[in-house]
Structure 1
Amino acid sequence: MSSEIRNETGTQKLVGYVIDVGHSDGCARCWLDLDARHLNRHNVLHGGIATMLLDSASGATGSMTVDPTGLVPFLSVSLSVQFIAPGRPGRVSAVGKITGGGRSLKFISAELHHEDGTLIATSTGVFKRVPQEKLA
Structure 2
Amino acid sequence: MSEGLIRDETGTQRLVGYVLDVGQPDRRARCILDMDERHLNRHGVLHGGIAATLLDNASGATASLTVDPAGRAPFLTISLNTQFLAPARAGRLTAIAEVTGGGRSLLFIAARLEHEDGTLVATSTGVFKRVPERA
Other-structure match for 1:103: 104
Note the residue ranges of structure 1 that are not aligned, 5 or more in a row. Answer: none
Alpha-carbon offset, residue 118 of structure 1: 0.4
The aligned length equals 134
Contact 1:108-1:125 within 8 A present in 2 as well: yes
RMSD: 1.2
1:90-123 Cα deviation digits (max 9, x unpaired): 0000001000000010000000000011000000
Identify unmatched segments of 5+ residues in structure 2: none
- Equivalent residue letter for 1:19: L
Secondary structure of the residue that 2:46 maps to in structure 1?
coil
Partner Cα separation in structure 1 for residue 106 and residue 3 of structure 2: 24
> Residue 44 of structure 1: CA displacement?
0.3
Once the two structures are superposed, what CA deviation does each residue of 1:72-100 show, in whole Å capped at 9, x if it has no partner? Answer: 01110000000000011000000010000
The residue type paired with residue 115 of structure 1 is E
How far does residue 22 in structure 1 lie from its aligned partner after superposition?
2.3
Percent identity between the aligned chains?
A: 68
For residues 104 and 27 of structure 2, the distance between their equivalents in structure 1, rounded to whole angstroms, comes to 16
1:24 deviates by 1.4
TM-score norm. by structure 2 comes to: 0.96
Which residue does the alignment assign to 1:66?
67
Q: What's the TM-score once normalised by structure 1's chain length?
A: 0.96
Q: Could you list the runs of 4 or more consecutive aligned residues of structure 1 that deviate by over 2 angstroms after TM superposition? A: none
Establish whether residue 77 from structure 1 lines up as the match of residue 52 from structure 2. no
For 2:3 and 2:118, how far apart are their aligned partners in 1? 21
> Residue 87 of structure 2 aligns with which residue?
86
Asked if the contact 1:29/1:95 (under 8 Å) is kept, the reply is yes
